[in-house]
Amino acid sequence: MKQTIPVIGMACSACSANVEKKLSELDGINSASVSLPGRSALIDYDPDVISLEKMKTEINEIGYDLVIDKKTSVEEIEKRTYTLLKRRTLLSWLFAIAVMCVSMRWIDLGSRDISNQVSLLIALSNMLCCGRQFYVSSWKQLLHGTANMDTLVALSTGIAFLFSSFNTFWGDAAWASRGVVWHTYFDASVMIITFVLTGRLLEEKAKDGTASSIRQMMGMAPKTAHVVEGDRIEEVPISTIGVGDVLEVRPGEKVPVDGEVISAESFMTADAAYVDESMITGEPTPVEKKKGAKVLAGTIPSQGKFRMRARQVGEDTALAHIIRMVQEAQGSKAPVQRVVDRAALIFVPVVACIALVTFLSWWVIGGNTYLPQAIMSAVAVLVIACPCAMGLATPTALMVGIGKAAQKQILIKDATALESLRKVTALITDKTGTLTIPNRNIDFTKADNLPLEVRETLKPKAREAMESLQQSGIEVYMMSGDKEEAARYWADKAGIKHYHSEALPQDKENLVRRLQTEGKCVAMVGDGINDTQALALADVSIAIGKGTDVAMDVAQVTLMGNDLSAIPEAIRLSRNTVRMIWENLFWAFVYNIICIPLAAGLLYAFGIDWQITPSWASALMAFSSVSVVLNSLRLRWMK
């Protein structure tokens, strides 16, 4: 069984890596892929070996939670979590303003001792009221031998607070007698928590935008439906509808489930209604629906009303299948993300070691006189080395890219498919049903004696799509079972230079193999059972959504409509998404490479009296995470 399960409590890439590692170690779980921006885990497991309850218990022990109760609204949980985070952030800012007023002497409290003691109380209150989750989470991580961003925050603020508390009560006795000028750093402790919370708040808001495509699709399903029982029509929750129920759908209402029309009427005709299916197929023209026609959940009658019998309900509807497919694709991981996840697992311990080396270097070189400087430099290193930006770089771009594709009726099965699309150098396309549409009301027993332009029509935008692909450097080949003259005619109509006539399924597979041996990355586009051999062998397989289920099951990419311009659009989207991933990773690594030495005080070695303070480190850390998410969101507005 494969299932996408919401995960609560993740804050950084180390969190998602820890959850994934824990799940992967459990007996009965074949594979687990955890998405930080998607806040979910895609789990392939054997329900006879392990239950969802067991998974939940194991994940709870390391400080996170799985939402396995289908009655529980994940949206409500996330909304409450966001509201709580917002309140804590606002309260933390009040504590930050208060501690700055005292530490900067904007409010005169008399003696230095009183000011330090008041600052201590403010900092302690902030840690207990606003930063409590950092210490609880890091303690749970420690018990299981793991670490995450919370560990760095807890260490840095804890060290700053304890050192400042020591100085408050024993500073003169410990340092003044040795000629060391001492200070307290309660403001740093408060500002670190404040900026980290602010960063997470902005990050959550930005990440919320990456999942907008899923929410839009979920919003396509209505909450209620009109059930026909004899002469009565009753409005009921959609969850109560069963297979076989008779429903009435009126103009402007959404079709509640998949089913079959049993009667229809409109002002245009007495036996048909017209349904807008553009949200599923992308086709702008309403489709005529008579008795026996299939209707899909989420579509809308634009003219007339009809009664239908429910055939697929709940998670069995086509809309639910599409949503599930997009969720799984967004939760899948590109090959580069696997490397990032392994790095995230060791990142926090490595940062802790760098901070320790920073502390020892300052102390050994400068002696006790530089002990305060040594401590604050180590704290700044702990704060600024944020694994969040690195962990968000790939999945946020993938979520936006795959979500944008879904909005354009392009369903991409996983991250690997999205990454492979950009490499395509040759594309093979079937003709009938893919490039062309057979004309209606044709006597196919006499079809061989009819002109071609009569038997079929070229799909809208097919020629533009093929020309666009060829202009971008992709070789296009058309495979047709037609005779030479017919195949040449349709290749010319579609603007395709290379074509093969009288092609059998094996011929399509052989062409894929030949092009691959020539070093080309091959994409195959098809819609029928005769295309499945070639689809399965191709580097990227693309199915037409109105084709057979077999072709769609094999394909990595499914086009839900007849608009073939979606193919070059999908390839451009793939190139933009992968470029965005590398941009994000570049800036995330550059950020750490530059900022960690500056926080450690490297410039002092060159005679420059400047370094990043703990407070500024927390602000920069928050900015790095938010900037990566915002950069990924640019994909939503790219052409």
pLDDT at 210 over 90: no
Note the pLDDT of residue 244.
Answer: 92
pLDDT band (50, 70, 90) for residue 66:
very high
The share of the chain scoring above pLDDT 90, in percent, equals 32
How far is the C-alpha of 574 from the C-alpha of 423, rounded, in Å?
A: 9
**Alpha carbon distances (Å) from 601 to 188, 220, 255, 354, 598:** 17, 55, 64, 12, 5
Q: What is the CA radius of gyration of the chain?
A: 31
pLDDT per residue as tens digits for the range 167-182: 899 887 777 776 777 7
The predicted model gives 350-356 an average pLDDT of 90
How far is the C-alpha of 138 from the C-alpha of 154, rounded, in Å?
A: 7
How far is the C-alpha of 427 from the C-alpha of 477, rounded, in Å?
A: 6
Note the pLDDT of residue 548.
Answer: 44
How far is the C-alpha of 521 from the C-alpha of 44, rounded, in Å?
A: 29
pLDDT at 329 over 80: no
- Catalytic residue list contains 430: yes
Beta bridge partners of 288: 274
Helix (DSSP H) and strand (DSSP E) numbers for the chain: 22, 22
Tokens of 254: 């959404």
How far is the C-alpha of 82 from the C-alpha of 392, rounded, in Å?
A: 19
Q: Which amino acid is at 175?
A: W
Distance of CA 556 to the CA centre of its chain: 18
362 contacts 377 by C-beta, under 8 angstroms: yes
Note the pLDDT of residue 558.
Answer: 86
How far is the C-alpha of 10 from the C-alpha of 150, rounded, in Å?
A: 10
pLDDT at 549 over 60: no
Note the pLDDT of residue 444.
Answer: 46
Of 390 and 383, the structure prediction assigns the larger pLDDT to 383
**Alpha carbon distances (Å) from 448 to 213, 434, 454, 482, 528:** 46, 20, 11, 10, 21
pLDDT at 449 over 70: no
pLDDT at 399 over 80: yes
DSSP H/E element including 235: strand 232-237
For 242-312, give the CATH class.
mainly beta
How far is the C-alpha of 49 from the C-alpha of 47, rounded, in Å?
A: 5
Note the pLDDT of residue 632.
Answer: 86
The predicted model gives 210-233 an average pLDDT of 79
Indicate the range of 110-124, 260-274, 565-579, 616-630 predicted with least confidence: 616-630
Of 152 and 549, the structure prediction assigns the larger pLDDT to 152
Max mean pLDDT among 305-309, 409-413, 449-453 falls in 305-309
CATH of 396-576 given 3.40.50.1000, 3.40.190.10, 3.30.70.260, 3.60.60.10:
3.40.50.1000
The predicted model gives 255-263 an average pLDDT of 93
- In the set 150, 276, 414, 430, the catalytic residue is 430
Indicate the range of 299-308, 325-334, 455-464 predicted with least confidence: 325-334
The predicted model gives 601-613 an average pLDDT of 87
Average pLDDT, the chain: 85
Tokens of 332: 């899948």
The predicted model gives 212-229 an average pLDDT of 79
The values of phi and psi at residue 270, to 5°, are -85, -10
**CATH code reported for the domain at 2-72:** 3.30.70.100
Indicate the range of 260-264, 448-452, 616-620 predicted with least confidence: 448-452
Tokens of 517: 């041996």
pLDDT per residue as tens digits for the range 4-63: 888 988 877 778 888 999 999 999 999 898 887 778 888 999 999 999 999 999 999 888
Nearest one of 128, 126, 230, 245 to 187, comparing CA atoms: 126
pLDDT at 547 over 50: no
DSSP H/E element including 629: helix 614-633
Note the pLDDT of residue 529.
Answer: 66
Note the pLDDT of residue 528.
Answer: 65
pLDDT band (50, 70, 90) for residue 287:
confident
